[in-house]
Every structure is written in structure tokens, then in C-alpha cells.
Amino acid sequence: MNEKSVNTVWHRPTVTRVRREKQNGHRSVITWFTGLSGSGKSTLAHAVEEELHRRGIRTFVFDGDNVRHGLCGDLGFSEEDRTENIRRIGQMAKLFIESGTIALTAFISPYQVDRQRVRRIVDYDEDFLEIYCECPLEVCESRDVKGLYQRARKGEISDFTGISSPYEEPENADLTVNTSMLNLDQCVEKVIGLLESRGVISSF
């Protein structure tokens, strides 16, 4: 228990996750998109959300840049701050699956230990689906519309994943999507197929 929270007591709601899932007609889950900057995480997460929304499924995308404008606006990109960033997102995503929502998160989340820590905070292993957006560094750099890789190569950005900071590839991802070989529609199909095969949503 967090020592700063010793005087708080967990309140058990009467409207439970199970009841919300039943009302929604689908399970809730965290889909954790990870990969290098430029690997297509955010693009894929939002495209999957579009398809799920079309099917009447409750969703929310946690986008890395958006979260750092608010919830994690006080954090930098040191190893310690990256770990805290992922911890906060993991806890928030857990609240969303308790609400019966499919939480789609798009974060580089470069460290294996941090991703595993998020997996451990959920009640069941099947509540966390790690989706690795696999893409060669040179392809990610070629897609770099923000110019971040170029600035990192010049030393203008420190602790940049793939250049001056490591990225640890998932060892046992629930799904690996090669975003350099497949088009967006094909990538979406693979993610939807994963959700259907795991019983999160119904197949048509």
C-alpha cells in the first residue's frame, strides 16, 4: 500500500464491472500499443477505435502526446519519469476497464519491466493485451513528420528512444503487427481479430 494512502478505505461499488459489461454487450480490456516513435501506434489505435465505435462498442484512446498535455504534463523523459508516466496510464486504464470500456493506449513504453508492471495491476492476465507495432528504425525515421528523430540525431533532444535511449521489444506480445509491411486496414483487421479471438467482442 502507498504510505501516503494509509487512511483511505477501498469502497466496493454496487454497479460492478460485470454489470457494466453486460449492459454494454462486450468485455472491457486494455489494449496496449507499444513501439518506436513513428511505428504507427496512435494511428492504429485510433483506426481500431473507429471500427469499434462503428460496431457500437464503448472505447477510449489514451494517446501519448495528449496525456502529456494534462495528466502527465509535469513529467520529462528520464527513465524515472517514463516509468511514472506508464504507471499513471496503467492505473487510469484500469479504471476505464472497470467502467466497462475498452481502453486503447498508444505509448512508446520502451521498458519491458514497465509494461509488465501494468499487466500485473489488472485483476486477470486476459485484461491486458500487449500489441507490438513492429517497424524498423529507418522506416520510423522516414515517417518523422515532427522532425524529432532529426533533432535527436543532432543532440537537440536527449533520452530519445531508438537514438539515445533504448527500446526493449516485447518478448511475448499478444499480437505483433508489422506496420511497415501491412497497410492500415490490414493492421486494424489483425487487432479486431485478436479482440474477437479473446472473446472481448463478438465476431460478425
The top-level CATH class assigned to 16-196 is alpha beta
Higher pLDDT, 7 or 35: 35
Sign of CA dihedral 116, 146, 81, 91: negative
Higher pLDDT, 65 or 184: 184
Identify the band that residue 191 occupies on the pLDDT scale cut at 50, 70 and 90.
very high
Residue 79: pLDDT over 90: no
Mean pLDDT of the chain: 89
Q: Which residues are catalytic?
A: 109
Q: Which three cell numbers stand for residue 140?
A: 520510423
Q: What is the pLDDT of residue 1?
A: 44
pTM of the model: 0.88
Mean pLDDT of 70-74: 73
Mean pLDDT of 162-177: 94
**What gap in Å lies between CA 109 and CA 17, rounded to an integer?**
27
